[in-house]
Amino acid sequence: MTEMPETTEQELTDQVVASFDTAKDERFRDVMQALVRHAHAFVRETRLTEAEWGAAIEFLTASGHITTDTRQEFVLLSDVLGISMLTVAVNEPGLAESTESTVLGPFFVQDSPEIELGGDIAGGAKGEPSWVDGTVTDTDGNPVPGARIEVWEADDDGMYDVQYDDGALAGRAHLFADAEGGYRFWALTPTPYPIPDDGPVGLLLQHAGRSPMRASHLHFKVTAPGFHPLITHIFVAGDPGLDSDSVFGVKKSLIRPFDRHRAGTPTPDSRRLEGSWTSAGFDIVLRKK
CATH code of the domain in which 81 resides: 2.60.130.10
pLDDT tens per residue across span 148-167: 999 999 999 999 999 998 88
Helix and strand element counts for the chain (H, E): 6, 12
Q: 94 and 221 share a domain?
A: yes
- Is it the case that residue 46 has pLDDT exceeding 70? yes
Whether 106 is covered by a domain: the verdict is yes
Sign of the four-CA dihedral 46, 52, 55, 61 = positive
pTM score, whole prediction: 0.89
Q: 62 and 78 share a domain?
A: no
Q: Which domain holds residue 58?
A: 9-66
**Mean pLDDT over residues 203-215, rounded?**
97
pLDDT at residue 130, as a whole number = 98
Whether 1 is covered by a domain: the verdict is no
Residue 93 binned pLDDT confidence (cut-offs 50, 70, 90): low
Sign of the four-CA dihedral 236, 239, 245, 248 = positive
Whether 2 is covered by a domain: the verdict is no
What CA–CA distance (Å, rounded) separates 52 from 54?
Answer: 5
Domain boundary residue, one of 22, 41, 66: 66
Domain boundary residue, one of 46, 66, 86: 66
pLDDT at residue 35, as a whole number = 98
Q: 145 and 278 share a domain?
A: yes
Whether 3 is covered by a domain: the verdict is no
pLDDT tens per residue across span 259-280: 999 999 999 999 999 999 999 9
- Is it the case that residue 242 has pLDDT exceeding 70? yes
Q: 242 and 130 share a domain?
A: yes
Q: 35 and 93 share a domain?
A: no
Nearest to 105 by CA among 132, 139, 81, 71: 71
Q: 42 and 84 share a domain?
A: no
CA distances from 241 to 126, 178, 222, 252, 272 (A): 21, 34, 25, 13, 32
- As to burial, measured by CB atoms within 10 angstroms (0-12 exposed, 13-18 middle, 19+ buried), residue 27 is exposed
User: Are the beta carbons of 130 and 279 closer than 8 angstroms?
Assistant: yes
Whether 25 is covered by a domain: the verdict is yes
Number of structural domains, the chain? 2
pLDDT at residue 161, as a whole number = 94
Q: Tell me, what DSSP letter sits at residue 197?
A: -
Q: 78 and 176 share a domain?
A: yes
Residue 1 binned pLDDT confidence (cut-offs 50, 70, 90): low
User: Are the beta carbons of 54 and 34 closer than 8 angstroms?
Assistant: no
Domain boundary residue, one of 36, 66, 96: 66
Beta bridge partner(s), residue 213: 194
Residue 94 binned pLDDT confidence (cut-offs 50, 70, 90): low
pLDDT at residue 186, as a whole number = 98
Q: 129 and 83 share a domain?
A: yes
Q: Give the β-pairing of 255-256 and 230-236.
A: parallel
Q: 236 and 111 share a domain?
A: yes
pLDDT tens per residue across span 101-143: 999 988 898 899 999 999 999 999 999 999 999 999 999 999 9
Q: 38 and 143 share a domain?
A: no
pLDDT at residue 106, as a whole number = 85
What DSSP assignment string belongs to 16-74? HHHTTTT-S-HHHHHHHHHHHHHHHHHHHHHT--HHHHHHHHHHHHHHHHH--SS--HH
pLDDT tens per residue across span 72-90: 999 999 999 999 999 999 9
Q: 230 and 106 share a domain?
A: yes
pLDDT at residue 288, as a whole number = 93
Q: 213 and 196 share a domain?
A: yes
Whether 163 is covered by a domain: the verdict is yes
pLDDT tens per residue across span 252-261: 999 999 999 9
What CA–CA distance (Å, rounded) separates 136 from 98?
Answer: 11
pLDDT tens per residue across span 11-32: 999 999 999 999 999 999 999 9
Whether 111 is covered by a domain: the verdict is yes
- Is it the case that residue 195 has pLDDT exceeding 80? yes
Q: Which long-range contacts (CB under 8 A, 24 or more apart) does 252-256 make?
A: 253/99, 253/100, 254/99, 254/100, 254/102, 256/280, 256/281, 256/282
